[in-house]
Structure 1
């Protein structure tokens, strides 16, 4: 029995879990986000629906917008006239399996048969085979990479839970507006008849999308098909490569210095760094961390605070059980930053600057993240004590106990990995390297989102220093 369980574990790991992680984390063989100066890709799943898809098409037509519809084959077979209309009005058709079943629970031959069946159906209706595929729930199995052949897998940049009716049109609109930026691939739904969805949920999507199309027009954005988004992204990548190649000897010298520093890392440390990076990816998945900001230096999650009461600014008190927004640094970026920094002060200044850039995005996330309205403070743990006060943080000692000891060990390890002279720093300043809680009260954080204020940074008179 134990052998059977182990065989099942390894099968699920390599057939299902690893492909999903690889595609999501590393973007292997999938398209998730574009590079465009003004384009946003609207994509719709699960249709066509006889009630809501025509209304979506009417709305898009009024605004001169283009979109991509990933259709379920059995729905397309029921409503071929809607599929024909999608094609005739210049939108892109993609495949969403013949039935809305997860690829993990189907044999590879079954997945391929469903894709081929839907592709043949769309070709009979429109005369053209689709070039794009989105698996239900965005979940792949290991054989999908080989089975899909000419199809491009398309996932998404942002999804909004619009398959649930209870979210309401106003909250859905706020979530969508928060992500209204060029290069985004929006995942929306024009059908509510699939498992787990609410039948009339697309009514909310229609209402919210009406406002989003108006907002996009005011900002000068265009709503484009996934084909154009992929094309402009490839062009942007080529231009970026050309610019990188033309930077000259100074840039190459900088890269060579970084490469030299990386090459000087011993084999044991390389293994440790690799395992550390892998653990971070798993941590992101297990605890559902969300990226924030365009540079993706930081991630966050909303959780409940567990610790002693803390008196904060504005006569607020943080108590055990209160919701907090917990911030995490992207370790890959931190490692790269450490490799490029010549001194500990330079590294600390870079970190403080990145935090300052990200605070407005974190403040705006409170309006869209689930339970964001209940968040009482921004929370983090760091060895950097001074300098953070100038951004509006307050610092507190970690409560003594197992968590404090483990955090101390982990952050010392972190310094050894990313600090320019990490090992020496830990040996020489062991007594002064103590992690502290960095906490920013909610109203202080919200000030960072106020674009009308000429100076959003409080307490600027404090110098930027580091305890690294």
Structure 2
């Protein structure tokens, strides 16, 4: 009997307690607090609620405040019109499981199913996959870090007891006011029907939040989504690292100092660029449109079958327009970027600019409609789904191993932090297939979709749009 108890205790410690401890105390693989000059992130769990969430959205709109909603999939499925409004008004949407159940009492497979089901629901409503995940009660199990590696796990720096009516509006306000500062991540609740909460508690939360938003406006704070706060934080950290580094600097195009490549790196870059030119000649890689950032070639797809959300299927032997970045331009972007986030933003924007030209090129050269998709493999894939791409895991095998080696070598060359960035983040930097079905690609032909995406980007990230 003692052995069984000891085994159970050991299992629970490994599966539940230790992962929770290292994520809460040490912040391992999670985002809890940012660094910012005037930005703060307010997040809401457990919704949407048909009574309180629309009132909350009205309040946020009056203050031009953006928030992040970690929604329960079953409730999102029941109230898609509220989710659509969140998205249309520029708020970020994350996953809070399909039902509000702790990851400690669910198997890894069940957690994965809950997350995927919620992701599918949100994609069906908004046309975009969520990037952020918060487990109920902030509780993680041992396997969450590995199987949810494509999501940014977000916890909080401030929790205030807003789910209990007995807290009271005044006490809740004072608690929130005490932590009202740039970089904080508040967690509040726009639904009181979950276990342990009071159904009318959101009424008190809304009253206290209204006062906090007024205070923040007077202090000059900006209420932003978690994604923007993460981007600002990474930029500040990159700048601080540069200021600490002494010597070996050169001035970048944007006026900031960047690390000066050593002679060995300059040689490697030169050899790489020669290979780039040879590759373009041998494999007949052509530029897209008037730009020189994106190139393409038409090839036969040779991987495993890919199923797109619109029902179409990419099969082995189908023709695809294979996308290629110009590595010389990528190197210039990397050496003038503040962080990997800025590299990703630049790349996504260049792809966005090129998509209308890709659509026109498909119509020009493909009279028999045999090109089935746009296709590429890239380590810079975060944000691609916002442009209409779908991402897939690389099939395991020699191709996957060689591709990972090649792209990590490329990243170590183009990134301002060099190979150190790849070694430090080898568990999160992962190449994936990015592909877009033909019909969706052709929808970019008029350029209207590009303008729509640009406007959505500016409305959600005004600070970054101004800096870029």
TM-score by length of 1: 0.52
In 1, distance between residues paired with 2:101 and 2:207? 28
- Residues paired across the two proteins, number: 248
The 2-side partners of 1:41 and 1:246 are apart by: 33
Aligned partner of 2:65 in structure 1 is 65
d(CA) in 1 for partners of 2:37 and 2:149? 30
- Superposed counterparts of 1:81-120, under 5 Å: 81-120=81-120
**Larger Rg belongs to:** 1
Matched, 1:27 2:27: yes
Alpha-carbon displacement from aligned partner over 1:229-277 (angstroms, at most 9, x marks no partner): 00000001101111111399xxxxxxxxxxxxxxxxxxxxxxxxxxxxx
Unaligned runs of 5+ in 2: 249-468
Q: Give 1:55's aligned residue.
A: 55
Structure 2 match to 1:214: 214
Q: How does 1:437-452 map to 2 (within 5 A)?
A: none
Question: Matched residues in 2 for 1:25 and 1:247: separation?
Answer: 35
Q: 1:49-448 maps to which residues of 2 (within 5 A)? A: 49-246=49-246
Q: What is the distance in 1 between the residues matched to 2:208 and 2:88?
A: 25
Q: Hey, what's the Cα distance between the residues in 2 that align with 1:247 and 1:74?
A: 55
Cα distance in 1 for partners of 2:242, 2:55 equals 44
Deviation digits for residues 398-456 of structure 1, max 9, x if unmatched? xxxxxxxxxxxxxxxxxxxxxxxxxxxxxxxxxxxxxxxxxxxxxxxxxxxxxxxxxxx
List per-residue Cα deviations over 1:178-224 (Å, max 9, x = no partner): 11000000000000000000001001110011111110010110000
Instruction: Report deviation, 1:6.
Output: 1.1
Does residue 13 (structure 1) correspond to residue 23 (structure 2)? The answer is no
Distance 1:63 1:80 in 2: 24
**TM-aligned CA deviation for residue 3 of structure 1:** 1.3
CA deviations on 1:6-28 (whole Å, 9 max, x unpaired) are: 11011001100000001111111
User: Which residue in 2 is equivalent to 1:345?
Assistant: none
**Equivalents in 2 of 1:206, 1:25: separation in Å?**
29
Distance 2:128 2:16 in 1: 31
Distance, in Å, in 2 between the alignment partners of 1:123 and 1:149 is: 19
Question: d(CA) in 2 for partners of 1:158 and 1:63?
Answer: 21
Distance 1:107 1:19 in 2: 15
C-alpha separation in 2, matches of 1:80 and 1:153: 24
Q: 2: distance between equivalents of 1:238 and 1:66?
A: 25
Q: Which residue of 1 aligns with 2:335?
A: none
Match of 1:320 in 2: none
After superposition, give the CA deviation of every residue in 1:315-366 in whole Å (9 maximum; x if it has no partner): xxxxxxxxxxxxxxxxxxxxxxxxxxxxxxxxxxxxxxxxxxxxxxxxxxxx
Give 1:149 shift. 2.8
Find the counterpart in structure 2 of residue 36 from structure 1.
Answer: 36
- TM-score, normalised on structure 2? 0.52
Structural RMSD (CA): 1.0
Secondary structure of the corresponding residue to residue 26 of structure 1: coil
Q: Distance in 2 between matches of 1:247 and 1:84?
A: 51
Q: Which residue number in structure 2 is paired with residue 46 of structure 1?
A: 46
The match for 2:3 is 3
Q: Partner of 2:25: helix, strand, or coil?
A: helix
3-state DSSP of counterpart to 2:212: helix
Q: Take 1:42 and 1:11, find their aligned partners in 2: how far apart are those partners?
A: 35
Q: Residues 247 and 67 of structure 1: is their aligned pair in 2 closer, same or farther, counting only changes over 3 Å?
A: farther
* Runs of 4+ displaced beyond 6 Å: none
Distance in 2 (alpha carbons) for counterparts of 1:175 and 1:137: 19
- Counterpart-to-counterpart distance in 2, 1:28 and 1:170: 34
Deviations 1:366-404 (A, max 9, x none): xxxxxxxxxxxxxxxxxxxxxxxxxxxxxxxxxxxxxxx
- Cα distance in 2 between the residues matched to 1:76 and 1:125: 9
Aligned position for 2:423: none
* Partner SS, residue 200 of structure 2: coil
